[in-house]
Structure 1
Amino acid sequence: MAKRHVEYGKSLLQLFEFDPEYRHLNHGSFGAAPRDIRKHMRHHQDLAESRPDSYIRYEYPVILDECRAAMAKLVNAHVDTIVFVPNATVGVNTVFQNLTWDDDGKDEIIYFSTIYGACAKIVDYVVDSTSGKVSSRAVPLSYPCEDEDVVKAFHSALEDSGNAGKRAKICLFDTVSSLPGVCFPYEAIIKACRDAGVLSLVDGAQAVGLVPIDLDSLDPDFFVSNCHKWLYVPRSCAVFHVPLRNQHMITTTTPTSHGYVPQSGSRFNPLPPSKKSAFVNNFEFVGTLDTSAYVCVKEAIEWRERVLGGEKEIFEYCHALAVSGGHEIASILGTEVMDNPSHTMSKCAMINVALPLDGEDRSLEIQHWIMRTLAEEYKTFIPLKEDAGRVWARLSAQVYTDMDDFIWAGQTLLAVCNRVKRGDASQTHTEDS
């Protein structure tokens, strides 16, 4: 492993492009790309502008293949199973758009109640658009819970599905859930899906760069993960992995473009001929989009190794800071951190802390007031989510943050919660109405 040349903490802020007055405590939503990586992206945008045809048709595919190879090495996957899409939501949409459903109306989609909202709506759309051909079943989860409880809940849902005369076709689940930001036992659920003959669709939106991923060992049926969150790739870029055995299922991109091979015969394709697999070729060019973020993947992976010392050091620092920082905030607020006794829920760089709010102060309107107030008055943002009758704040640890940021966050959250108790939020809501 390369020795990192800088110390983690505030000294690294100079490597990013944050407003000096802004504290970025929410890396988990939109990520952040270092200045050098954004410079690399702009260089490729300039190349595309200087000679569009030459770059887009002939140079870009070669660079893209290098980035696919770098990503394949990082996640331990065959390079021909790796392509890029704009974001994890597009990847999940792509899988559901390509699946075929049985006419007997028994096919069922299994998902967990902690699913990301946009992905839940993808499931809703499939159910709505198939006119009863497909149904869905939510697996209820209540945090905190142990990993084995999640697996038991999955098996219970499969049993309920069968008893209802349904056939579980595919299960959609996280690696690290978004809100609250906790680790999900995806390894165990992938195996449980395989044993039950159910397709596994892993929404790893928060995975790459946040937790170690070994796709060869995991062997999911479909996996997608944003690179623009934790891997320092500029927005928008996600890795989409489909093992060779399942690539025949993915016949079109989202949207359909030149790579699609129609059953009725061939159509004219203005792009250069390619000897790459149908799957790889399909995703190489999906209309005229700005895919300059895709060609930053290799550079970002190398930058993390060269400047920061590599994945292991990044993970260890961010995880330790998230855990210790979360407990510091909980101490300031007089509340607690969301975790289970085995601490598997907190094995990442995000931590969830309960806010000292009760009754009507937990309303969705109050939560939105707090988040907007943090953004407008305190120059930060901390996402909130109610779970099990409590409002939880999710904070992200990063190489450019340190304990001082978490102490400040705790003091700021306490001040804002005190304002809520004084009625400031209710008064503002009344005035806005």
Structure 2
Amino acid sequence: MSTVEQSRHLATAIPGPRSSELIARKNAAVSRGVGTTMPVYAARAFGGIVEDVDGNRLIDLGSGIAVTTIGNASPRVVAAVSDQAANFTHTCFMVTPYAGYVAVAESLNRLTPGSEEKRSALFNSGSEAVENAVKIARSYTGKQAVVAFDHAYHGRTNLTMALTAKSMPYKHGFGPFAPEVYRAPLSYPFRDAEFGKELATDGELAARRAITVIDKQVGAANLAAVVIEPIQGEGGFIVPAEGFLPTLLAWCRANDVVFIADEVQTGFARTGAMFACEHEGIVPDLIVTAKGIADGMPLSAVTGRAEIMDAPHVSGLGGTYGGNPVACAAALATIETIEADGLVARAAQIESLMKDTLFRLQAEDDRIGDVRGRGAMIAVELVKAGTTEPDAELTRALCAAAHQAGVIVLSCGTFGNVLRFLPPLSISDELLREALDVLELILRDL
């Protein structure tokens, strides 16, 4: 198995000649609607490095948007995928089932929060799993309405676009969207501080604000489910104030509303716990997973209480590729790697290292409005100096300069002003420090 040297190296300007050629080919062959963040084309990736077709080695602080959590081409995954592909690549679980699907479901039932009897169902993408979680909740409750939150991101299919808050680029021009979807205010401590310290720090108070909106605009009698990311992803890596999630969950339990935790971006050791819900000790009714589940193979899942998961009629759930055998083999190897290599603890180490540097930078630079996140899911919210006004222009410039310097970073947030860090848990401390040093120099230059 080939690996990639774990060092940043710029062999050419970025983009190099081969990447430039591929950019031209992409523009001629691929729909304009499919955008790309980086101006380079990948050739190989391993650990904390992505190598492009021109031989440039870039430090990876994106993990393919939180997918390659254990690192690209992770040895156990490569071996498992190779073995499974040599046996069979597809039979359709709904036609000729296979053990891998059952084993992944068993692992998810064991790993997800809560000790009650659970069931799982496997799908392909995060969006597809969120849609199925809503279907399951509607089947179980006999109700139709669904509540999502400000700044939420749940996917790009019709129903998940309705659940997603941000119009551009996710929703603009693509409606009409699925009905019976409503929105409630999230706990966003940095922004809530504008309305008073109590709201910013008291999660229970922020939850009561949301519950009032839900009660008045929807009504518990009509509400099948509340869908929430325990830490918001595309919305800006927003960590709700302590107490927000437990208060919301308690209200759902008291009102026959299914609490769906969308852990697509936060799951599988990313936040320094196997699942982000664990940080506040909450047990969702349904938990949606994808991204980090199979180290890059397309797989997603809904896991939850047996009586809820078993509510849909037989053959009401499924899909041609759902729980593909090669993806299932990758998932089992990914879970084995997380547990055997202590990657939950590694995520906590990465948090400590990154926050030490970022808090120091924040103390020196008043354009850094907020540093937040958990584990290897950390964000910096950039603002105009001395204010809380979002600075999307600075964020764009910082990202572009980082890309030119050989560091893969992503932005996010409703206002486009959040720099997010999602390094693979296999990255070395040395590469992480070097990437942060590069960003510090760029920030000073800007």
* Pair in the same fold by TM > 0.5: yes
* Corresponding residue number in structure 2 for 1:168: 223
- State the one-letter code of the partner of 1:241: T
- What whole-Å deviation, never above 9, does each CA across 1:347-395 have from its counterpart, x for those lacking one? 4322222336569x967577556545543x22333222356x7822111
Write 1 or 2 for the structure with the bigger share of helix: 1
CA distance in 1, matches of 2:231, 2:145: 23
Gap change, CA 1:162 and 1:287, over 3 Å in 2: closer
Q: Kindly state the Cα deviation for residue 174 of structure 1 after the two structures are TM-superposed.
A: 0.7
- What whole-Å deviation, never above 9, does each CA across 1:203-222 have from its counterpart, x for those lacking one? 1111232234489x744232
Gap change, CA 1:168 and 1:406, over 3 Å in 2: farther
CA distance in 2, matches of 1:222, 1:373: 41
In the alignment, is the contact (CA less than 8 A) between 2:382 and 2:390 conserved in 1? no
Q: Kindly state the Cα deviation for residue 149 of structure 1 after the two structures are TM-superposed.
A: 4.0
* Corresponding residue number in structure 1 for 2:239: 183
Q: Kindly state the Cα deviation for residue 317 of structure 1 after the two structures are TM-superposed.
A: 1.6
- State the one-letter code of the partner of 2:129: G
CA distance in 1, matches of 2:444, 2:294: 32
Q: Output the TM-score relative to the length of structure 1.
A: 0.67
> Aligned to 2:67, which of 17, 31, 46?
31
Q: Percent identity?
A: 9
CA distance in 1, matches of 2:357, 2:214: 39
In the alignment, is the contact (CA less than 8 A) between 1:221 and 1:243 conserved in 2? yes
| Local SS of the residue matching 2:408 | coil
| Counterpart check, 1:260 vs 2:309 | no
- State the one-letter code of the partner of 1:323: K
Gap change, CA 1:364 and 1:232, over 3 Å in 2: same
* Corresponding residue number in structure 2 for 1:246: 308
In the alignment, is the contact (CA less than 8 A) between 2:152 and 2:229 conserved in 1? yes
CA distance in 2, matches of 1:305, 1:117: 28
Q: Kindly state the Cα deviation for residue 158 of structure 1 after the two structures are TM-superposed.
A: 2.6
- State the one-letter code of the partner of 1:31: V
- State the one-letter code of the partner of 2:435: W
- What whole-Å deviation, never above 9, does each CA across 1:79-117 have from its counterpart, x for those lacking one? 75123222321111123345659xxxx954322102116
Unaligned runs of 5+ in 1: 1-8, 252-258, 262-281, 340-344, 420-433
Gap change, CA 1:128 and 1:167, over 3 Å in 2: farther
* Corresponding residue number in structure 1 for 2:329: 295
CA distance in 1, matches of 2:262, 2:373: 18
Q: Kindly state the Cα deviation for residue 233 of structure 1 after the two structures are TM-superposed.
A: 2.8
In the alignment, is the contact (CA less than 8 A) between 1:328 and 1:407 conserved in 2? no
- State the one-letter code of the partner of 1:236: P
In the alignment, is the contact (CA less than 8 A) between 2:150 and 2:183 conserved in 1? no
> Aligned to 1:61, which of 98, 123, 140?
98
In the alignment, is the contact (CA less than 8 A) between 1:44 and 1:292 conserved in 2? yes
Q: Kindly state the Cα deviation for residue 173 of structure 1 after the two structures are TM-superposed.
A: 0.6
CA distance in 2, matches of 1:291, 1:183: 35
- State the one-letter code of the partner of 1:209: A
| Counterpart check, 1:391 vs 2:428 | no
In the alignment, is the contact (CA less than 8 A) between 1:325 and 1:403 conserved in 2? no
CA distance in 2, matches of 1:305, 1:107: 39
> Aligned to 1:112, which of 149, 162, 167?
149
Q: Kindly state the Cα deviation for residue 28 of structure 1 after the two structures are TM-superposed.
A: 7.4
**1:76-91 matched pairs, under 5 angstroms:** 81-91=119-129
Q: Kindly state the Cα deviation for residue 246 of structure 1 after the two structures are TM-superposed.
A: 1.3
CA distance in 1, matches of 2:253, 2:231: 20
* Corresponding residue number in structure 2 for 1:286: 320
Q: Kindly state the Cα deviation for residue 139 of structure 1 after the two structures are TM-superposed.
A: 1.8
Q: Kindly state the Cα deviation for residue 410 of structure 1 after the two structures are TM-superposed.
A: 5.0
In the alignment, is the contact (CA less than 8 A) between 2:378 and 2:422 conserved in 1? yes
* Corresponding residue number in structure 1 for 2:57: 21
Q: Kindly state the Cα deviation for residue 24 of structure 1 after the two structures are TM-superposed.
A: 0.8
| Counterpart check, 1:316 vs 2:348 | yes
Gap change, CA 1:71 and 1:94, over 3 Å in 2: closer
| Counterpart check, 1:220 vs 2:260 | no
| Local SS of the residue matching 1:208 | coil
> Aligned to 1:196, which of 255, 261, 282?
255
> Aligned to 1:71, which of 103, 108, 114?
108
| Local SS of the residue matching 2:348 | helix
- What whole-Å deviation, never above 9, does each CA across 1:18-43 have from its counterpart, x for those lacking one? 32711111237142144311332132
| Local SS of the residue matching 2:335 | helix
Gap change, CA 1:293 and 1:331, over 3 Å in 2: farther
| Counterpart check, 1:207 vs 2:271 | no
**1:115-134 matched pairs, under 5 angstroms:** 115-116=152-153, 118=155, 122=159, 125=162, 128=176, 134=180
In the alignment, is the contact (CA less than 8 A) between 1:329 and 1:353 conserved in 2? no
In the alignment, is the contact (CA less than 8 A) between 1:328 and 1:410 conserved in 2? no
* Corresponding residue number in structure 1 for 2:172: none
- State the one-letter code of the partner of 2:334: A
* Corresponding residue number in structure 2 for 1:278: none
- State the one-letter code of the partner of 2:312: I
| Local SS of the residue matching 1:118 | coil
Q: Kindly state the Cα deviation for residue 169 of structure 1 after the two structures are TM-superposed.
A: 3.3
Q: Output the TM-score relative to the length of structure 2.
A: 0.65
* Corresponding residue number in structure 1 for 2:182: 136
Gap change, CA 1:291 and 1:55, over 3 Å in 2: closer
CA distance in 2, matches of 1:288, 1:191: 32
